[in-house]
Amino acid sequence: MYIWNSKIWESLRERVDRLPHAVLLQGPQGVGKLELAERLAARLLCEAPTQASDPCGGCAGCRWVAAGSHPDLRRVEPDALSEAGAASDEPEGETRSARKTKPSNEIRIEQIRELADFLYVGSHRGKRRVAVVHPAEAMNVHAANALLKGLEEPPPDASFVLVTHNPARLLPTIRSRCVVLSVARPNEPAALAWLESMIPQGADAKRWLAFAGGAPRLALDYAAGERGTRAMPYLDALAQGSPRSIAEAADRESLECLAEVLQKHAIDQVTSRLAGRSLYGTTGADSVEHGGTAREWVRFARYMGKARALTRHPLNPKLFSAEMISKVKELIS
């Protein structure tokens, strides 16, 4: 477990046997909320918990949870997340692009109905049945309303563990039926120490931690994964004040990455003017301020917020990225 969440886990395990049927873990993306949810699920299903109320790790229940095959545990998440995690298990030669439909980024009502069928069946091991919903804000309206029914009239010995990066997008009635635990970002020294021990040699831990908004797990995804590789040329071009070198996005993933970089850069331009500091580190070591007023950059940041939401739609990546790049060129020139 991430060391910065140890106090939250201690508060959970002290009352694990007195917890109500629904817990909501909320906080920024990349701070270890899902790991906490999975540890709580493992403890609820452990058949020989230790004195400290940790999962023992050796009973049949713990082994099944570790293997991802416990019959009394369900994880509900968008198909896009499930299929990304299972990509390595696909038959050779079969790719996601070869499928007829693109995996959904929403949690659909059919998934919640299947969850209800699971929860209303007796436990296989004679203990609880646990449902982990992640990220909960990905539920569409119909799915959220269906889950609400289960939260209002929970089946006996059923536990819900919800994880959300954006609690404001959840129905207030869902939040009100859960015990809410907030998971904050760790302090910078602790986050940097952990990140430096995890990233490849030569990667700039401080830069990626800033770009991730202080969330170390998200920073690791950037520093050691494809997301960072895609973002680096955009970040370098903006830090050097040369947007004309930004290439148009060739695919959907690059388009999403470009939109994120431009939005964070716009926010940095605003904060550097108004507060003398950069939040995401996109202005470079010298905190380069480009042309444009703070108000103009605020408008551009709002535009990019809407653009980021649209990048998941079936748009032409090259045309859409060209529009975004032209707007930032107008501001910087």
Could you tell me the residue ranges of all domains in the chain?
3-182, 225-332
Quote the pLDDT of residue 179: 94
Contact 161, 25 (CB under 8 A): yes
* Alpha helix stretches (DSSP H) within the chain: 6-14, 33-45, 60-67, 79-85, 109-119, 141-152, 172-176, 188-198, 205-211, 216-224, 226-239, 252-274, 294-310, 317-332
Pick the CATH number of 3-182 from 3.40.50.10680, 3.40.50.300, 3.30.70.20, 3.60.20.30: 3.40.50.300
Q: What is the rounded average pLDDT for all residues in the chain?
A: 88
Quote the pLDDT of residue 105: 87
Residue 90 has pLDDT above 50, yes or no: no
Quote the pLDDT of residue 81: 84
For 112, how many CA atoms within 13 A lie in the half-sphere containing its CB? 23
For residues 254-273, average pLDDT? 94
pTM of the model: 0.85
Query: Sorting pLDDT into bands at 50, 70 and 90, what band is 312?
Result: confident
Q: How many helices (H) and strands (E) does the chain have?
A: 14, 5
For residues 76-99, average pLDDT? 58
For residues 14-22, average pLDDT? 89
Buried b or exposed e, range 25-34, using 16+ CB within 10 angstroms: bbbbbbbbbb
d(CA 161, CA 156): 15
Per-residue pLDDT tens over the stretch 213-260:
999 999 999 999 999 999 999 998 888 777 778 889 999 899 999 999
Integer CA distances (angstroms), 258 to 12, 198, 207, in order:
39, 25, 17
Backbone phi, then psi, for 117, in 5-degree steps?
-60, -40
